[in-house]
Structure 1
Amino acid sequence: MRPSSVVAVTDRSSVRPELRGRILALVAIVCAALNLRLVVTSLSPLLTTVGAEFGFAATVVGVFGTLPLIAFAVFGLVTPAIMRRLGPEATAALSMLLAGAGQVLRAFAPDTGTLLLLTGVALTGAALGNVVLPPLIKQYFPDRLAALSTVQMVAIHIGALFPPLVAVPLAEVAGWRVALGSWSLLALAAAVLWTFQWAGSGSGSAAPRAPAPSGGAALARPIWRVGMAWRMALLFGMVTWNVFTLFTWLPALLTDAGHSAAMAGSMVSLMVGTSLLFGLVAPTVTLRAANTFPIVALGLGGYAVGYLGVALAPQFVPVWALFLGLGTSLFVVTMTMINARSATSQGAAALSGFVQGAGSGIALGGPLLFGLLGELTGGWTASYALIAGGSLLVAFAVAYVERTPWTIEAAAQGHLPGRRAGELLHD
């Protein structure tokens, strides 16, 4: 089944909300998406400064890099159940409230343990938001999946781009606590918007509430028994492995190479900005592709060139940041696949929760092992070769196997659109 046919099988007349509900939903989706990465990227450029004050070393930096993946793994798997109980709009409101509260409170943390705990609270909100937004897009905009996937990913990238660009300069002027806590206002604003959307969806003034997406009601088999879901989770995991390794360690890699902290932060922003440019076209290309392998292979090639460049010629880091941005845009591709490879909002919720939950669990080792191996060997060569290079090889193999688009509903039923029996890997 071609991805474009997924939209065609959706009953648009039964799910298309009224215009006012769609406008508020659009604004709420954008505001929520802006928060999904800034919880991470607003902290990573400041870890050297905070570490100097609190007295923690490289291993603790790796723990901070692993925290997002722990949150995304745990709440990726449980968010569908929360959505069934609260409804998707209320879940989105809760996610933004947690993100905002965690961010403002961690700015007052007196020690490393408290900072870790409150960062975990903020990341819990971001993890809930990661899972709930794709099915909300499918619920409110089933006829505009490519456009809204692009809007969501642009917002995520903007939210990831600006914090590292301004974090160090703002900390130098106002202190790291102000630089860290000021971003909470955006999450709290998103919480208010989703609260209004939640109230409106039950009053008839906006969209009539669609049934809460189910974690598995739309599937013929439990999602954990579907091979396609595991392959997508592994691909998402390898992409996320590298995204968060770079968010966590690229500033340290560059400062070790002799660049200033401000320069290192700006290179994270350049990487994210480049990913944003590719992300503008990635959803449309992914939705239309009859074979997604060339798209993924291009991004993996960008990662490989970028890592090699940073390792061997760090003086040309702006060039390598561009290639790393090409690789990071694979996050857009894998997120788009969640909606492209589901025919219903229930299927999207099930696939979103499983792929992000299991995939983030797979990715847990990336930031932590990258730093730990560097500390044990006294350099970054082994980290580049084993942690970065190994993950790229795994992603390359999985992307080739899972190259033909089809839906999770069809996979759960055992249908084989566009596939030969030998390519199933026990679906």
Structure 2
Amino acid sequence: MTPSTMTAIADRPSARPAPAPTIERRGRILALVAIACAALNLRLVVTSLSPLLTTISAEFGFSATVVGVFGTLPLVAFAVFGLVTPLIMRRIGPEATVVLSMALTAAGQALRAFAPGTGTLLVLTAVALTGAALGNVVLPPLIKRYFPDRLAALSTVQMVAIHVGALFPPLVAVPLAQLLGWRVALGSWALVALVAGMLWVAQWSSPGARRADRAAGADQGPPLARPLYRVGMAWRMAALFGLVTWNVFTLFTWLPALLTDAGHTSAYAGTMVSLMVGVSLLFGLVAPTVTARAANTFPIVALGVAGYAVGYLGLALGPAHLAPLWTCFLGAGTSLFVVVMTMINTRATTARGSAALSGFVQGVGSGIALGGPLLFGLFAELTGGWAPSYLLVAGGSLVGATLMAYLERTPWTIEAAAAGHRPARG
């Protein structure tokens, strides 16, 4: 069997790595709770704001294009810090990096509640998103650091926490704003990041963190044969990740506006965002296992794309009272994010290859996804309707994602790709 014909499953060791004997059970429990709490914040910064943008825009007077800018900010942060965070981790260590992540997230969320205008709100949202972007990159290495024998289970914990953090803010944001004002509704979520930061300070200062340093000294694997910018597989995976993320953040930004424009209330629209995330969570519980075991990943991605297509068509052309149905289809499509992340995580045989592929794909892919939220709003503002946004921004990205998924349908490894091997196409 050549490297190019190995599937991702064959690449993984058959035996689970033994837990490092120097890491105490109590230290691992604290690390588990700290990982879950930090993961809650990775999408919360976005979904706590999007249901309130209509209310805030009425006070500050910004346009649909500015709403698109708010939707683009997370992707700018993820693109920049997907590439920068590994450098920060090497300089200060992963525990210090996640503490910095939570501190920035808490400060940005708390201070933006006092923003006097649009510019300040944008800047402080960017600060909070910088923290979330750091956490997005640093948590997987921390999982491997403390739980080398439980990677799948802890990755599922992280995924569930991310979804829970995305699900609840839209559900309560508008009712809380109606009761206490949008500033309280927006700033109160800083407490979640503050608690996570305190947990990581405790973990960072514990003997377990120092013992994890010694336990993490395993071989990282040889350097890749070529830099990733010269490897076609890396670019295709980045394009697929980017086009999937394009739609995720387009919907986080614009689904509330699409539903209120169709005659629903802001509170109802926020509930639909939570419904979309909840459906994505349900699919996401099984998606990693199915994706990792698949000899051909194209049918899985194609099903997700079909969910997106039906959901978008329903919002654009279907009866407004069936919005929950269309939202469920969109949630099925949004679960593609978990599918693509699983594809990234399983297509490497070494820690060095995994880190390189993940950083490249998330950094470049987030850069590609920048156009989604911004163009969706820009086209609507220029044409006075949503049709061009649905057709060109959503439809075009789905066509591109389908093509990339077909080209990368056969699991293989980044090490093999960098060495110039080719997969056996199914």
Whether the TM-score (by the shorter chain) exceeds 0.5 is yes
Describe the shift of the 1:206–1:135 C-alpha distance in structure 2 as closer, same or farther (beyond 3 A).
closer
**How many angstroms apart in 1 are the aligned matches of 2:31 and 2:322?**
43
Where in structure 2 are the equivalents of 1:117-156 lying within 5 Å?
117-156=123-162
Where in structure 2 are the equivalents of 1:245-264 lying within 5 Å?
245-264=250-269
Contact 2:27 2:208 in 1 (8 A): no
Aligned residue identity for 1:390 = G
Aligned residue identity for 1:136 = L
What is the aligned counterpart of 2:403 among 397, 409, 416?
Answer: 397
- Shift in Å, 1:316: 0.7
Deviation per CA, 1:352-408: give whole Å up to 9, x if none.
Answer: 211111000000000000000011111001100000000000000100111112222
**How many angstroms apart in 2 are the aligned matches of 1:213 and 1:395?**
35
- Shift in Å, 1:203: 5.9
**How many angstroms apart in 1 are the aligned matches of 2:207 and 2:356?**
22
In the alignment, structure 1 residue 304 sits paired with structure 2 residue 309: yes
What is the aligned counterpart of 1:237 among 229, 238, 242?
Answer: 242
Describe the shift of the 1:99–1:213 C-alpha distance in structure 2 as closer, same or farther (beyond 3 A).
farther
In the alignment, structure 1 residue 196 sits paired with structure 2 residue 202: yes
The CA RMSD over aligned residues, in Å, is 2.2
Paired position in structure 1 for 2:121 = 115
Where in structure 2 are the equivalents of 1:16-415 lying within 5 Å?
18=23, 19-200=25-206, 204=210, 208=214, 210-211=216-217, 218-313=223-318, 314-415=320-421
More divergent stretch after superposition (296-305 vs 95-104): 95-104
- Shift in Å, 1:209: 5.3
Describe the shift of the 1:57–1:229 C-alpha distance in structure 2 as closer, same or farther (beyond 3 A).
same
Tell me, what secondary structure is at the counterpart of 1:220? coil
**Which runs of no fewer than 5 residues in structure 2 stay unpaired?**
1-5
Aligned residue identity for 1:350 = A
**How many angstroms apart in 2 are the aligned matches of 1:280 and 1:121?**
31
- Shift in Å, 1:345: 2.9
Contact 1:17 1:140 in 2 (8 A): no
More divergent stretch after superposition (282-291 vs 229-238): 282-291
**How many angstroms apart in 1 are the aligned matches of 2:118 and 2:214?**
45
Aligned residue identity for 2:128 = A
Describe the shift of the 1:387–1:415 C-alpha distance in structure 2 as closer, same or farther (beyond 3 A).
same
- Shift in Å, 1:81: 1.3
**How many angstroms apart in 2 are the aligned matches of 1:218 and 1:200?**
33
More divergent stretch after superposition (220-229 vs 396-405): 220-229
Aligned residues: 419
- Shift in Å, 1:336: 1.9
TM-score using structure 1 length: 0.93
**How many angstroms apart in 2 are the aligned matches of 1:155 and 1:203?**
22
- Shift in Å, 1:232: 1.0
Deviation per CA, 1:54-97: give whole Å up to 9, x if none.
Answer: 11111110110111111111111111111221222222221111
**How many angstroms apart in 1 are the aligned matches of 2:162 and 2:71?**
18
Contact 1:165 1:266 in 2 (8 A): yes
**How many angstroms apart in 2 are the aligned matches of 1:88 and 1:337?**
24
Describe the shift of the 1:212–1:111 C-alpha distance in structure 2 as closer, same or farther (beyond 3 A).
farther
Tell me, what secondary structure is at the counterpart of 2:333? helix
More divergent stretch after superposition (145-154 vs 376-385): 145-154
More divergent stretch after superposition (101-110 vs 78-87): 78-87
Deviation per CA, 1:213-256: give whole Å up to 9, x if none.
Answer: 98x97423222222211111111100100000000001001111
Aligned residue identity for 1:326 = A
In the alignment, structure 1 residue 8 sits paired with structure 2 residue 10: no
Deviation per CA, 1:279-314: give whole Å up to 9, x if none.
Answer: 111111122122111111110100000000001123
**How many angstroms apart in 2 are the aligned matches of 1:373 and 1:291?**
36
- Shift in Å, 1:346: 2.7
TM-score using structure 2 length: 0.93
Tell me, what secondary structure is at the counterpart of 1:208? helix
- Shift in Å, 1:134: 2.2
More divergent stretch after superposition (379-388 vs 197-206): 197-206
Contact 2:246 2:370 in 1 (8 A): yes
Tell me, what secondary structure is at the counterpart of 1:232? helix
Contact 1:241 1:363 in 2 (8 A): yes
- Shift in Å, 1:201: 6.0
Describe the shift of the 1:153–1:74 C-alpha distance in structure 2 as closer, same or farther (beyond 3 A).
same
- Shift in Å, 1:116: 0.3
**How many angstroms apart in 2 are the aligned matches of 1:341 and 1:21?**
30
Q: Percent identity?
A: 74
- Shift in Å, 1:334: 1.4
